[in-house]
Structure 1
């Protein structure tokens, strides 16, 4: 009976790949709670990739329960929603790929693959009217969201760009960090658009940057030594204070859209941590469920306290941060994490 049920499920997904690659590289929620998940095969002769859409995020990473899935021609580093029906993929080929959901969201079709970068695309961020991509070739590309074409190219870094982040409410502003040690603020309205925020924060290379959705001037910067720092962009002369949160490189940072207190981070130390963004990054929640690098992290758009992570161990973990942790003084509160593959922790 179980075999017949499985076969009936697969008959309904004729266009999806038969198997998902082991290394999960990124995830993002859509406004309605649907989730896109990116995967890559980082071992073997060919480095392939795939993207998967789940209307029920709790089903990930089970291939049989995806809404739509498709194989990509190469590995990938990042995925992001572009509206309700389209997904942008940062490809290892140097391309930015645009995939669109069709046939009642059951099929992903490739609309465009633009090879604008000369090396692996590390990061993509969707802004108000534009999207921004950063690559190991050291360049940053600003794209028109509607036409999916490059409108500006910037080379303010002299080494690979590891992360870009668009301002949540201003189409002209975005952040970047790179292997040259610099964290830059970009304003595309200016003749000289780049301003240096920091150089080798905490004496280390920056690994991730992100904006606080509750403030147009508040950002967070993470490093390869596990430090995280907060900064108010209205006072660039004030040094950025850092706190050691992880003991290995930080791979993802994400402010909660529901609480100004919660700042989630993930790292190569296999941990997912929620820190208090208004109380010196004191510990609110910590999970050690992952067994390898954590590469995907996002808050559920309509469930406060619900955080999802994905990693190279092929696990998608759903974390519940206690509501009591919304208090500015909530420190060291442990929460629940659910492993969708192995049961409840």
Structure 2
């Protein structure tokens, strides 16, 4: 018994060394190729630099720079910043009532069950589109911890897209854009009737897709249509008489996200954004896919093949959304749009995400 007690400190030391080695290995797992994370953040993740890290988190508005005692008898007194023997190494403490408060209070990091160093690495991993299971394995974290950080990053990206629609305005004078819908339209070679698809899958979503045609991969705007489509009746007189708000919703999105004097290529297959419907928008010059197909050499589908190439990344996202609930689908869509706009390199994605986290968790 005495031997076991005597050996316990030695075993604890070995465990600490093992943990330290694992953390050191984890620090080398992720990087951004000499970018912001490697140059600015990584040095602060070394052991003994916790004070420097917390000062930087304050400067970035990722944790509070000042905090007040919630105890009513203290009348909102400022809390003092104290060193503490806890995972974050610091806490807030009231000089009057000695009440303690986490430095994570009201921040992105609240209730994330890992240290701040690991959390920053998980954010970088999300920015690099590394699967949660891979990140958890590399950093020796529980899957649920990584998933929680990923979910918060996705929520931040979704909020940014909603609050800043001006970041996704496409086109301009003499620029060519393509407007279509998924499923259906000309985004894929095989036409999909959404009324049939909805019978097989209650989660099937109609997605308005807008893409600039001047680069691959193209800049896009994707919008999940809220209105429910009506089935097309055999009586042609029905067309255009009742649109259930679907077309109006699509036209409103197009006006909001496409600059005037743009060329728009549309088709007659689409339910919410057909060539015929877009004729109402006099600020654009609308061209039909069917007309352009006539310019293809006989027996060739050059235009449709080009459209499939342009829509490739958009189709992948739309297909993923089809099997999701509405809220999950919106999250997938917003994350894709955010990464398209801000994730061109790992370094820039990480910097933008930190800034957008600070905006989302703005302290009052």
TM superposition score category, shorter chain reference: under 0.3
Give TM-score, length-normalised by structure 2. 0.24
Greater C-alpha radius of gyration: 2
Give TM-score, length-normalised by structure 1. 0.24
Which structure has the higher relative contact order (CA within 8 Å, separation 6+)?
2
